[in-house]
Chains A and B, each alone.
Chain A
Amino acid sequence: DGGITQSPKYLFRKEGQNVTLSCEQNLNHDAMYWYRQDPGQGLRLIYYSQIVNDFQKGDIAEGYSVSREKKESFPLTVTSAQKNPTAFYLCASSGTVLMNTEAFFGQGTRLTVV
């Protein structure tokens, strides 16, 4: 089945630790995104990548890092520099660089930092 997979679904970390969230897609999509959602709020763009080996900062990139070494994978690292990392993280992918298409989402990762 084609789709986009995030893991883990729930993640607990101690304050000050870096943590990496996984996102994999087998939809052959060029573009991938990471969003953060806080309770009762909308989605805010952290990073996005339109093609392998390239990515751009979104609106709230501080304290986060990404890599795009493979088309299928776009992992997000939440660093200790992120002041308030507890949130719901959503990964999405969409079409190609030249064609605007809708985004498909993974099921999300709920990160809790204690």
Chain B
Amino acid sequence: DTGVSQDPRHKITKRGQNVTFRCDPISEHNRLYWYRQTLGQGPEFLTYFQNEAQLEKSRLLSDRFSAERPKGSFSTLEIQRTEQGDSAMYLCASSLGGRVSGANVLTFGAGSRLTVL
């Protein structure tokens, strides 16, 4: 297993277009997270899945954003009608489930950079 994979690494699109990012987590990890990172900022939480269930969504996840993890393995993040403010690095992470009181170490992918013109 080579870690968390994200595709594409870089996407340039015009305002108003739809884009989709894919994340392949570490195979035995049942939890998957999406974060957004803009220049000079830390990662901001968007949403998280436990297996195929989307258990938490941030208020940052507007109606134009949708995330799925249909079989509890890979996940997709789609942004509809992109805006220039959506330009950011979209980071995916995964972790191995355990007790909520446990350390829950997140392993991150390299990210998908979105540029909206």
B is bound to A? no
